[in-house]
Amino acid sequence: MSEALSSMPPDLWAGSQEGDSVAAVHPADLRNVWRLFRDAQSRNPGQCTSVGNGVYESVCSPGADVLAVWFRASMLELMTQPDMLAQWTHNGELDDFVFEVAATFPMKKMQAGVAYDGPPFEVQEFVKQVGART
């Protein structure tokens, strides 16, 4: 096996449901995982942190697609960095309707070894749908 292939990250979606769309999730699960991200950041400012899959499972409802919840929460977190969601953020918390939109908004699975020009969803349409909920 070549050096490049052996150092590639694993395919996160291997063994998941068929298709290239990320499964819809429950908004409460999404909120809980997003809060885990925020808590880890507040405890370790400026540092990268890692949380085990079992921790994500512990804050999700039974039978939740934890990978899909994590992925959607990660996309929300990316959107908070340039403050794209600032008008729907109060005291460090996103409004409930942001999680409701993000839980079902169409997103594509990202694959290891593929370069992407941006997030795997229509960012402007997402912001538009969130704005329509206010």
How many CB atoms lie under 10 A from the CB of residue 64? 20
- Residue 92 falls within a domain, yes or no? yes
- Residue 84 falls within a domain, yes or no? yes
- Residue 49 falls within a domain, yes or no? yes
- pLDDT bucket at 65, cuts 50 / 70 / 90: very high
* pLDDT the model gives residue 4: 40
B/e letters for 33-46, b = 16+ CB within 10 Å, e = fewer, are bbebbeeeeeeeee
pLDDT in tens, 14-48: 555 567 899 999 999 999 999 998 887 777 777 67
- Residue 37 falls within a domain, yes or no? yes
Listed residue (101, 92, 94) closest to 132, CA to CA: 101
Structurally, the chain folds into a number of domains equal to 1
Amino acid symbol at 21: S
How many CB atoms lie under 10 A from the CB of residue 3? 6
- Residue 9 falls within a domain, yes or no? no
Higher pLDDT, residue 5 or 113: 113
The arithmetic mean of pLDDT across residues 55-60, rounded, is 90
Across the chain, mean pLDDT equals 84
Please give the residue range of the domain that contains residue 35: 21-132
- Residue 35 falls within a domain, yes or no? yes
- Residue 1 falls within a domain, yes or no? no
